[in-house]
Chain A
Amino acid sequence: MSSTPTQPDLVHLTIDGVAVEVPKGTLIVEAAKTVKQEIPVYCYHPKLGPAGLCRVCLVEVEGMPKLQIGCNTPVSDGMVVHTQNAKVDTGRSMILELLLVNHPLDCPICDKGGECDLQDYAMAYGRGSSDVADAKTSKPKGVDLGPTIVLDEERCVVCQRCVRFDDIIAQENQLVLKDRGARDIIATATGEPYRHNFTGNVTEICPVGALTSKTYRFKSRPWDLQRTQTSCTQCAVGCQQMVDVRSGTPLRTMSVESDDAISDGWLCDRGRYNIGFYASPERITQPLYRKDGEFHQIGWDDAFSLWAKAIKSSIAANGAASVGAIGGGRLTNEEAFFLQYLFRALGVENLDWRAGTQRQAGPGASGGTYAELERADAIVIAGESPAERAPVMDLRIRKAVARNGATLIRIAPAEGTPNVACIDVATVAQAIEAMPSGAKRVALVWDGVDLQLGAELAKAASGWAGLRTYVTGEQANARGAETMGMLPREGAMDTLAMFAAAREGRLDVLSLFGVNPVLHASDAAPTRAALERIPFLVVSDLFMTETAAMATLVLPAKGAFEKGGTTTNLTGDVLPVNQSLQAPESALSDFEMLIGLAQHFDEVALPTSEELDERVIGLCAKPPVADGFGAGRYASAAPSRPAPRPSDGLAVVVHSAVFAGGGTSAHDERIASLRPLPHASLGAQDAALYGLQSGDRIDLECDGVLLRDMVVAVRPGMRPGIVALTGGLPGRAANSLSAGARARVVNVRKAAAPVGV
């Protein structure tokens, strides 16, 4: 033994004859990893902790008569552990023999085949023969557990990882173990479909093929897949994910292992499952040019020259102020940079990435990390729920509240979550000030929409030490686009000003990159009116969106899996976007389109790719914008809280939902079932007033627009006088409402019994 004094929090023990030193409290199963000895586990999972159910992790600890489970036995000084000897082998092989007694062994048709812990451990520790002389029990197979997952009860080894994931991590508590003994089955507690934003994770932690994704069932074998790691770009969290492609089709995505600083090892169902659109037959395959009211397919050369000609003649006739471009939040950093670079080189300064409701992205100098969010003492959520806008980040919030004891405070001008009273900024400030001074790590999570609220918060929070802010962008690369300069400088027009100018006939050419303001802008009717009046509207997108349908020129774009670059998530991490897929032949990345356009402008000096990378890296490294919250940079009249109008009825607020499916997810039949119902949420007081209960169907009349068949959701925490409608659902009239609309309930169809919605 060495002469260095032993640290009190380190424990010395011997595992398989090797002396090891690990922190006190370490479980044998973890300690064994230090000697590169893998102890088999089914129920244990580092994120879920020990459960002691499967009993496969048996080890021998000298001095203890019975075999011990490595997953729940902490190390102690002087302990002598054997992870491999005859006694251990007998125990483990018994467990495997038992697990196989009723296991269907339908490996040939099981999706898990080739990456199954039952196959692997049976090979490593099993007996290889069986004494079973009786028929296996039969249990339900192919159980439709919910919109995403199919369950095979016969393959289940009852490790309860799925149940514990739902309890500990997602905290949705839908999955339970029902019945008992050998008859036990996994099911939802209520019998209703298993459905929330994180269900797909259970297919990954299930050690066997009991839980499989509907989108991947019977599609492939793991060895036929080509795997690429990339960053999910479906929201601003930036989860790392593996894309598995077979013969040019992305078949599934998987999370990266365990402790990823961003995703924490999880994915949300949108990030996981919304990949079918890449192979959709509805993708635009050819540039389209509108002539005499009809789209005609044209070649790229023609597209570029028409586009360049329109810009040139507009600048010549009405000056560069008559031209604008919007986009960047769905592009890579490199693309966003080049977008503003090219247009600014042409003298065009009307540039903005903000096409939806979000008015602000980068949270400024005080932005925090996800690890800090998890350790916050208080979390203030302002505006829309991060569960819908930044799902995997919301798991950190759930962890902070349920496991680390953080206080959750919600400020919601509109919708409240059940059981959370919506309060105003002053009350929040009081609550924060009342916290003991030692416990004042405050995390402020804001949707970046209501600038008036942002300004109030900025004022209130200015004195909070240890403040960390998180703006849940509605576009994945909102922060990157902002950093890359896709914001108007002094004197130029932002998105809303551009739309106003358009309505007045002052905007001639507008180029949109990966944005769909008709669906996502907070004020749909005036947005539509603006776009209708633009003589030359260019839209780059994968699909014929509501906005693309109004364009003069539609350009088929590549999706994120089809190109490379970087993206910046909401905490400011610059993350790689790696190409895993070949794009359809005629699609170009926005970058390639901009290059094509640039060819028509001899006066523009194009940077070399090295120069470009250097500039992008330089901007990324720049300290984030310093004026943070509610800043004066957003000069134009931002839509704010609807001023209450004196007439009767309810003030309408339209809120987003991650699965609304307005974007790419509208083009995948398989996940269409994830789409939320068109909900009309109201507080308990209003529900009583109108005699409504959850599950009732109502029609609403809003400023002359009839919204049919909305499903009532009574949310006890919501303020009176407000009805919150699910926005972003394709083809729903709610998308076309104007700010400040008021709603009257015109028809009610009662549900038979109140329904949990």
Chain B
Amino acid sequence: MPVTKVLTAGIGEVDLRDFTVYRDRGGYKQWERAVRELQPAQVLELADRSGLRGRGGAGFPTGKKWSFLPNDNKPRYLVCNCDEAEPGTFKDHMLLEQTPHLVLEGILLGAYGIASHHAFIYIRGEFKRGFEIFSKALDEARAAGLLGKNIFGTGYDLEVTVHRGAGAYICGEETGLLNSLEGKRGEPRLKPPFPAIAGLYGMPTVVNNVETLAYLVPILEKGAEWFAAVGTERSKGYKIISISGHVRKPGNYEVALGTTVRELIEIAGGLREGRTLKAVQPGGGSSACIFDEHLDWPYDYESMAKAGSMLGSGAFVVFDDTTDFVKCAFNLVRFFAHESCGQCTPCREGGHWLETVLHRFVEGRGLRSDLEMIRRVSSTITGLNLCALGDSIEPFLKSVINRFPEQFEARIDARSLQQNGSPAMAASAR
């Protein structure tokens, strides 16, 4: 089976939270080498050549993102996004809890790559344990002189600040995160300006995912070519996939990008006895489902996009033939409506409205006219929102309504089928 161990190497075998264990395995060597021997521009160049793309969801090429920072002599910041609240995603806090020094070393390298002297990590409020483990690791690294002033006597200063969130999915969106980090309401910012120009405290800022930054460590160690050698045309290297749902062994599996959808299901132990596959949601709660016909497609950024979905954060949820897709759709829409910051009209009102209507379907009180309304509203609001959360409401919903219309139609209240009156009348006739 094509499971690899790059970031996950050693996890479950040794206690990587132990500073000496991590160091003895070569930990912080890349950090020391970078600061002593490389210019920041060289680190950026390595990241760029490796083909590393953001592992937080959008898959934006990391080196390119860094290169957007203007040379304006302002302080610049690196922010590590460890808010991880995308439904189905559970890899970042695993790294944080299991191998905190690797996460820190990645942050240090990323900060150095953009010549920043202050990095931040924004940890989801619920990850109390991860926060404690990481804070301890940070203290140890600081005590060992790996960060702070004049690191390794090179004159390079770098500080890392840990910040805990307070429980909002929207604070994972990078500008919502920046607002929250600044102590403001966690609501996304209007773009432009983009964080690269005016981010944290109005300064040029890069926001990167935990996993993205962690991959910098092996890329420095083994070279950009080593990373770029695996994967597919535009999806290079490795990725941790959080596989869940109707599989026998759900969990995090690190694989080369391009592993097929079928292989991923098998890696996670396959389906339960006697069950058949109905759908896979391949890229987190925001992604549309893919189906049987995609089983042998490579799991990479471009194929998932071609299949009408996305790779996203690598949250891979498997649904077998026992699935109630009406409930699933309701559950996800409820999640987005609940997590909407409420700033912009389409997401706030549209999400809430769709949630209300889907709730009626779950209870078997759908109206004939609702299906048309669900399609119309969910598709019209997509693209009108201020941030990507609002655009995340439609994909799953649309894909399952189209694929399993019978499940939705079965929840239409029989009385409404006979009624010619207004939908409101029908609804009140419950």
Contacts and interface: CB of A to CB of B under 8 A. Distances in A.
Contacts of B327: none
B190 A182 contact: no
Contacts of B113: none
Interface string A157-200: 11010000000000000001101111110000000000000000
Interface stretch (B199-207, B219-227, B341-349): B341-349
A606 interface: no
Contacts of A58: 384
Interface in A263-308: none
Contacts of B21: none
B417 interface: no
Nearest to A189: B185
A610 interface: no
Interface stretch (B73-81, B266-274, B318-326, B350-358): B350-358
Nearest to B367: A133
B341 A180 contact: yes
Contacts of B353: 98, 101, 132, 134
B201 to A, nearest CB: 16
Contact of B384 (A72, A94, A132): A94
A54 B341 contact: no
Given A133-B370, A133-B426, A180 B340 contact: yes
A90 B376 CA distance: 11
Contacts of A181: 337-342, 348, 351-352
Contacts of B367: 133
Interface residues of B, number: 41
Interface stretch (A45-53, A215-223, A355-363, A408-416): A45-53
Interface string A614-644: 0000000000000000000000000000000
Given A66-B383, A67-B383, A94-B384, A157 B345 contact: yes
A91 interface: yes
Contacts of B424: 132-133
Interface string B174-202: 00000000000101001010000000000
Main secondary structure of the interface of B (DSSP, over half): helix
Nearest to A49: B190
Nearest to A182: B352
Interface in A520-543: none
Given A131-B373, A157-B345, A158-B348, A94 B380 contact: yes
Interface in B379-430: 380-381, 383-386, 423-424, 426-427
A99 B376 CA distance: 16
A102 B367 CA distance: 19
A53 B344 contact: yes
Nearest to B422: A133
A183 B342 contact: yes
Contacts of A95: 345-346, 384
A160 B356 CA distance: 25
A134 B69 CA distance: 48
Contacts of B170: 180
Given A98-B381, A180-B168, A181-B351, A133 B386 contact: no
B348 A182 contact: yes
B386 A180 contact: no
Contacts of A54: 344-345
B328 interface: no
B377 interface: yes
Interface in B79-103: none
A56 B345 contact: yes
Contact of A98 (B337, B340, B345, B356): B345
A398 interface: no
Contacts of B369: 131, 133
B349 A99 contact: yes
A719 B247 CA distance: 73
B367 to A, nearest CB: 6
Interface string A57-68: 010000001110
A258 interface: no
A177 B377 contact: no
A131 B423 contact: yes
Task: Identify the interface centre among B187, B190, B373: most chain A CB within 10 Å of its CB.
Answer: B190
A55 interface: yes
Nearest to A97: B377
A72 B383 CA distance: 15
A137 interface: yes
B360 interface: yes
Nearest to B383: A66
A102 B353 CA distance: 9
Contacts of B380: 90-91, 94
Nearest to B341: A180
B349 A182 contact: yes
Nearest to B342: A184
Contacts of B190: 50-52, 72
Interface in B288-325: none
B185 A98 contact: no
Contacts of A131: 369, 373, 376-377, 423
Contacts of A179: 342
B393 to A, nearest CB: 12
Contacts of B383: 65-67
Interface in A90-138: 90-91, 94-95, 98-99, 101-102, 131-134, 137
Contact of A177 (B342, B385, B427): B342
A53 B386 contact: yes
B362 to A, nearest CB: 14
Nearest to B344: A53
A137 B352 contact: yes
A158 B343 contact: yes
Nearest to B386: A52
A180 B337 CA distance: 9
A252 B201 CA distance: 41
Nearest to A65: B383
B344 A133 contact: no
Interface string A680-692: 0000000000000
A640 to B, nearest CB: 45
B426 A94 contact: no
A66 B346 CA distance: 14
Contact of B385 (A55, A56, A157): A55
Contacts of A98: 345-346, 349-350, 353, 377, 381
A183 B338 CA distance: 9
Contacts of A51: 190
Given A72-B190, A133-B424, A158-B348, A91 B384 contact: yes
Task: Identify the interface centre among A52, A56, A157, A177: most chain B CB within 10 Å of its CB.
Answer: A52
Given A94-B381, A137-B352, A182 B386 contact: no
Contacts of A65: 383
Contacts of B346: 55, 94-95, 98
A56 B346 CA distance: 10
Contact of A160 (B343, B352, B377, B384): B343
Contact of A182 (B337, B384, B423): B337
Given A181-B338, A182-B348, A53 B384 contact: no
Nearest to B370: A133
Task: Identify the interface centre among A72, A99, A131, A176: most chain B CB within 10 Å of its CB.
Answer: A131
Nearest to A90: B380
Contacts of B370: 133
B370 to A, nearest CB: 7
A55 B342 CA distance: 13
Nearest to A179: B342
20 contacts: A51-B190, A52-B344, A53-B345, A55-B346, A55-B384, A66-B383, A72-B192, A95-B384, A98-B381, A133-B357, A133-B370, A133-B423, A134-B356, A134-B357, A158-B343, A158-B348, A177-B343, A181-B341, A181-B342, A183-B342
Given A66-B383, A131-B373, 17 more contacts: A54-B345, A56-B345, A65-B383, A91-B384, A99-B349, A131-B377, A133-B423, A134-B353, A157-B345, A158-B342, A160-B343, A177-B187, A177-B342, A180-B170, A181-B340, A182-B348, A182-B349
